[in-house]
């Protein structure tokens, strides 16, 4: 985490593991978002990643623990992001996998490196989409393209993501984080109440999205107990 006047930067910082998220990281980010929501000093949150990858999704060793214990940190995190009441900005480079992509549906401004690649391989792991993506992906990309992304787990390039309106703008990797921070600075110059009210007006389907996140979470929890997940994860580790 890095705090500057008006902005909290949440930085995925496990470059040796491609910034895969652990349960402890989820808990820390949820607490940080709660503090930022309650603080008048924080007006914007910026998500960034250390190294060449934005986020490789869940750490699979922790994910196995989730399957065994029923831990809900990942779902609690995406709920916290979806319900956050101040502007959210993301700077994405390299791979954004799973929740590293679905969280971006809830960000207001997403700046991506030319080499960014977005993947939602839930079905490949014996799972179902999360984070409201089963509703939001068809809305953003259209049903046919969303099916390719969610049912086949095909990657989405930065240029295609920008063309669809999922990404605000693409640029060289070396520029993306500084550009995102400059846009955060621009947001901080705007009247905060007008920003908050405008943001609410733009999100006219919020309650439906929250309900979809809950429906997905229920199906996701059931899928975790199935044999397909164990087989998929075992196959992944065997390949490694």
Q: Give the sign of the dihedral formed by CA 60, CA 65, CA 68, CA 73.
A: negative
pLDDT digits (tens, 9 = 90+) for 38-49: 999 999 999 999
Query: Which of the pair, 18 or 65, is modelled with greater confidence?
Result: 18
β 2-4/42-49 pair status: unpaired
pLDDT digits (tens, 9 = 90+) for 133-180: 999 999 999 999 999 999 999 999 999 999 999 999 999 999 999 999
Burial group, residue 98, by CB count within 10 angstroms (0-12, 13-18, 19+): buried
Please check the confidence at residue 28 and state whether its pLDDT lies above 80. yes
C-alpha–C-alpha distance, residues 56 and 121, integer Å: 11
> Cα separations (Å) of 67 from 21, 44, 125, 234?
15, 34, 12, 13
pLDDT digits (tens, 9 = 90+) for 94-127: 999 999 999 999 999 999 999 999 999 999 999 9
Mean of pLDDT values over 61-84: 85
Q: Which CATH number fits domain 2-173+191-239: 3.30.70.920, 3.40.630.30, 2.40.240.20, 3.90.226.10?
A: 3.90.226.10
Local confidence band at 55 (pLDDT 50, 70, 90 cut-offs): very high
Please check the confidence at residue 92 and state whether its pLDDT lies above 90. yes
* pLDDT value of position 204: 74
Alpha helices, DSSP H only, in 54-109?
A: 60-69, 73-83, 99-102
Collapsing DSSP to helix, strand or coil, 216 comes out as helix
59-73, 108-122, 191-205, 214-228: lowest mean pLDDT where?
59-73
Average pLDDT of the chain to the nearest whole number: 94
C-alpha–C-alpha distance, residues 199 and 139, integer Å: 18
C-alpha–C-alpha distance, residues 56 and 6, integer Å: 28
Local confidence band at 70 (pLDDT 50, 70, 90 cut-offs): low
For residue 14, report the phi and psi dihedrals to the nearest 5 degrees.
Answer: -130, 60
* pLDDT value of position 68: 67
């Amino acid at each position: 985490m890095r705090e500057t006047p008006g902005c909290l930067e949440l930085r995925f910082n496990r470059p040796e593991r491609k910034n895969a998220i652990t349960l402890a990281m989820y808990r820390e980010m949820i607490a940080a978002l709660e503090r930022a929501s309650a603080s008048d000093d924080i007006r914007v949150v910026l998500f960034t990643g250390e190294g060449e990858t934005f986020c490789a999704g869940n750490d699979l060793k922790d994910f196995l623990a989730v399957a065994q214990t029923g831990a809900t940190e990942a779902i609690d995190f995406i709920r916290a992001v979806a319900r956050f009441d101040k502007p959210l900005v993301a700077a994405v480079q390299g791979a954004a996998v799973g929740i590293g992509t679905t969280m971006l549906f809830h960000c207001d401004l997403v700046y991506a490196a030319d080499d960014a690649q977005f993947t939602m391989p839930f079905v490949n792991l014996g799972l179902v989409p999360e984070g409201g993506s089963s509703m939001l992906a068809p809305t953003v990309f259209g049903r046919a393209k969303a099916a390719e992304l969610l049912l086949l787990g095909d990657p989405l390039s930065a240029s295609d993501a920008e063309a669809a309106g999922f990404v605000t703008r693409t640029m060289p990797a070396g520029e993306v984080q500084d550009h995102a921070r400059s846009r955060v600075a621009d947001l901080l110059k705007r009247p905060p109440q007008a920003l908050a009210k405008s943001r609410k007006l733009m999100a006219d389907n919020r309650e439906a999205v929250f309900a979809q996140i809950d429906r997905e979470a229920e199906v996701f929890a059931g899928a975790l107990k199935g044999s397909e997940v164990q087989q998929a994860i075992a196959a992944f580790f065997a390949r490694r």
